[in-house]
Amino acid sequence: MALDIKIDGRLARVSELKRDNHLYTIKVDDDIYEIDALKVGEGIYSLIYKGKSYNIEMIDNGSPRHYTVNSFHNSYEVEIIDAQTRYRQSRSKGAATDSGNTITSPMPGKVVKIPVSVGEQVVAGQTLIIVSAMKMESEFKAKTNGTVKSIHAAEGDTIDANKVLVVIEPQAE
């Protein structure tokens, strides 16, 4: 499973390729690393990379998946961005989830209900589609008054992230 990890503002794609007890082969962006990693205390890790030893302290910053990581010489702010975090971010931003006229799925899920049909007049705030993802049901609502131009899923469908679900033709003012 790949994760995006933001370290002091730099975004890196990290994948675990292989694990044998405490020996890890990981891929960071396009580079491969072999690391001997061992947890030695609460939030404290010993890492060996290319024969050099590093001690790392991870401090939970009180919000999900945010840490301060301290080494002997440096301190880093780290955020782990997994599928659940991407989903929460897109839901809280709103604009990333839909553009006002187009409703898209922020992550893979299953269509639970579509309470509208093509050609139906809808009003801002009306539920257009309900999607279940990460054991949570999310209602996607119309941002504007208009007509349902197209529906690109059916109840019970399994959908991919960023799939267009419903398109609204805005009402002429």
For the chain, give the longest Cα–Cα distance. Answer: 69
Amino acid letter, 145: N
Q: What is the pLDDT of residue 114?
A: 96
Helix (H, G, I), strand (E, B) or coil at 88: helix
Give the span between the Cα atoms of 83 and 87, in whole angstroms. Answer: 6
pTM: 0.48
Amino acid letter, 139: E
CATH architecture of 2-81: 2-Layer Sandwich (3.30)
Q: Which fold has domain 95-170?
A: OB fold (Dihydrolipoamide Acetyltransferase, E2P) (2.40.50)
Q: What is the pLDDT of residue 83?
A: 67
Boundaries of every domain in the chain: 2-81, 95-170
Residue ranges, the chain, pLDDT below 50: 94-99
